[in-house]
Structure formats: structure tokens, C-alpha cells
């Protein structure tokens, strides 16, 4: 490299090092956009709007919520990963399961979900419930396990999405279940099948399971503590499956966003989660406040879920399509 060019590069690097702390110190000085890769009125949209308003009051700056649904969250994720500046003024709500699954199931992605959208906080967790139509005789997870092992290939399980199929694959691989998979294009027929016993087992969100409790028997739930909706039902941790993930929601920014900026966003989000009205709004949408809101915890949980899903896909022969 020529001396003149080295001097120019050195000056540029020096200016960048000086500017970054100044940018972070001045942050935020304009509205922050929150991108929701789901339609308006959905539970992720509702909790994002609540969090955005609370963080607006804490940071002293306006927030704007933009819905960019489509392609199973890919449209919203790609917008932030490829089009938004890495300055902390565009935040996306990111279910960790989606970030972890996209590299496993989606072909020709134009961004890397695991590195291009680093989460700076996990803030909400929605439990998943595993169970069976009440028409079946099984009253416990252990009774279902015994029946499935005694009758390989006899029973069906269903799912309306890959996100709800992977937890079942985890159980199948760990317990040696031989089951037939019945895919559903949408949620409504899947729910009906779980009430009339067209499929003998499957997964629901905790809220959906609570609404169907007269027709759907919950046998186990995700989460570290007993469920308020199903206090008598064991958690998967208690049953020996501590790796079974809940539906964990995080906030992410584009890779390259200054750490000082993400630290400010993390602090504001964590402070918002302490407010009783925010906790009430999360609870109304069947979410619990995340147990650890540090950036390190968000990264560790994403990496753990990513490894789990990647291993499951390899064992099941699932490839990106």
C-alpha cells in the first residue's frame, strides 16, 4: 500500500473511531422503527407495539411500528438485514425459533439469520403445549409414550407449520417414536383434527390449548416452571427434556450496529419489562417475561436452539427447500 493511501485509510479509521462514541452518545435523535414480520393485530404485533411505546417514553424519542408480513417472517427479516442501516434506528421482533430454523429449511436466503440479525434481548416467552384429543385414553405423557412404543407406526401426529413440527421430531428422536406425519396447510383444519382424533397428538400454543381444553388434553408444557394455565401438567424439563424450547421472542438489529447503541436499546427494553402494565399486556397475549434479558443470554439461547434444530434436521433428512 502506498504511503499516501495508508495515510488516508488511517485517517478514515481514526475518524470512525471518534465518531462511533459520539453517535452512540447522541442516540436516539430521531424516531426508532420497529419492524413486525407478522400482520397487524397478531400477538407479536400487539406486544411489539406495547414495548415500543414503553421504550419511547424511556428513551425520549418517538417509535413507529411497521408491519412487513410474508414468507414466514423472511420479508421482514430481510428488510432489516439488507436494507436498514446498522445504526439502531430499525429494530425487528424476531422469534428465536424462526431465526434458527430458516437456515435449516429455507433455500437461497439472501441473508444469514444467525449472524445478520443479532438479538440484543429476549423479552417474551410463549409456552408450547403437547397433548392429545380427549377421545384417546392416555391421561399422562408416560401413558402416551407406552402406547406409542407398543404400537409402532399406528399413530399419527400433525402440524400446520415447521415450527410446531420440530418439537415433535425432538421427541421422536429421543424416545424412538414411530409415527406418521400429517401436514396441514393452515391452522384451522389442524385444530379440528386435534378435536376429532384424525391425528392422535400434536402441539399448540398454551393459549390455544387453554381454549380447547374440553377437547384437547395437555400432557406436557415447555418452560422452566409450572404453567399457570395448566399447573397440574409437568414441564418437559421435569420429564427429562430440558432442551425443549418455548416460543421465545427477541428484538434484533442489523449486524454492525454499535454496541453502545444496542446496550441502550437493551437497557430501555429491560426497564420496560419491569412496568406492571407491560407485564399485564404480555400476559394477556399468553406471554411471560423472559427470565434473562441480557444480550449474552439472547445470543446463547439462539445458538442453543440453532444447534438443536440443525441436529434434528440432519437426523430427519430435512434439507432447505
Q: What is the pLDDT of residues 182-195, one digit of tens each?
A: 999 999 999 999 99
Place of cell 444467525: 114
pLDDT for position 9: 44
pLDDT above 70 (res 6): no
pLDDT tens readout for residues 266-317: 999 999 999 999 999 999 999 999 989 999 999 999 999 999 999 999 999 9
Cα end-to-end span (Å), the chain = 45
Query: Hey, how many other C-beta atoms are within 10 angstroms of the C-beta on 79?
Result: 18
pLDDT for position 25: 78
Which residue, 10, 54, 12, is CA-closest to 32? 54
Q: What percent of the chain has pLDDT over 90?
A: 89
pLDDT tens readout for residues 95-147: 999 999 999 999 999 999 999 999 999 999 999 999 999 999 999 999 999 99
How far is 167 from 171, CA to CA, in rounded Å? 7
In the chain, what are the domains?
27-126+247-316 (3.40.190.150), 128-221 (3.40.190.10)
pLDDT for position 97: 95
pLDDT for position 113: 97
Looking at residues 206-226, what average pLDDT do you find?
Answer: 95
pLDDT tens readout for residues 170-179: 999 999 999 9
Are 169 and 316 in contact by the 8 Å Cβ rule? The answer is yes
> If pLDDT is split at 50, 70 and 90, which confidence band does 163 have?
confident
pLDDT tens readout for residues 285-297: 999 999 899 999 9
pLDDT tens readout for residues 128-140: 999 999 999 999 9
H or E stretch at 262: helix 259-272
Amino acid at each position: 500500500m502506498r504511503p499516501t493511501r495508508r495515510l488516508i485509510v488511517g485517517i478514515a479509521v481514526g475518524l470512525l473511531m471518534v465518531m462511533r462514541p459520539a453517535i452512540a452518545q447522541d442516540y436516539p435523535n430521531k424516531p426508532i422503527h420497529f419492524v413486525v414480520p407478522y400482520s397487524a393485530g397478531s400477538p407479536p404485533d400487539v406486544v411489539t407495539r406495547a414495548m415500543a411505546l414503553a421504550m419511547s417514553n424511556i428513551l425520549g424519542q418517538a417509535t413507529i411500528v411497521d408491519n412487513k408480513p410474508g414468507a414466514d417472517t423472511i420479508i421482514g427479516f430481510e428488510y432489516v438485514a439488507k436494507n436498514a442501516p446498522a445504526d439502531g434506528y430499525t429494530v425487528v421482533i424476531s422469534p428465536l425459533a424462526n431465526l434458527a430454523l430458516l437456515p435449516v429449511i429455507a433455500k437461497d436466503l439472501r441473508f444469514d439469520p444467525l449472524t445478520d440479525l443479532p438479538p440484543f434481548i429476549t423479552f417474551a416467552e410463549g409456552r408450547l403445549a403437547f397433548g392429545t384429543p380427549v377421545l384417546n385414553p392416555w391421561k399422562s405423557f408416560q401413558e402416551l409414550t407406552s402406547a406409542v412404543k407398543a404400537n409402532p407406526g399406528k399413530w399419527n401426529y400433525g402440524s400446520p407449520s415447521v415450527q410446531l413440527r420440530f418439537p415433535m421430531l425432538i421427541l421422536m428422536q429421543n424416545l424412538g417414536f414411530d409415527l406418521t406425519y400429517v401436514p396441514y396447510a393452515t391452522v384451522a383444519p389442524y385444530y379440528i383434527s386435534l378435536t376429532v382424533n384424525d391425528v392422535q397428538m400434536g402441539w399448540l400454543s398454551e393459549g390455544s390449548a387453554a381454549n380447547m381444553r374440553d377437547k384437547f388434553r395437555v400432557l406436557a408444557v415447555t418452560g422452566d416452571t409450572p404453567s399457570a394455565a395448566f399447573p397440574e401438567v409437568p414441564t418437559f424439563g421435569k420429564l427429562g427434556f430440558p432442551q425443549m424450547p418455548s416460543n421465545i421472542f427477541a428484538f434484533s438489529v442489523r449486524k454492525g450496529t454499535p454496541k453502545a447503541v444496542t446496550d441502550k436499546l437493551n437497557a430501555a427494553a429491560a426497564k420496560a419489562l419491569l412496568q406492571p402494565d407491560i407485564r399485564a399486556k404480555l400476559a394477556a397475549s399468553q406471554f411471560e417475561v423472559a427470565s434473562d434479558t441480557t444480550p449474552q443470554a439472547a445470543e446463547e439461547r439462539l445458538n442453543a436452539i440453532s444447534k438443536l434444530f440443525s441436529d434434528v434436521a440432519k437426523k430427519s433428512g430435512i434439507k432447505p427447500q
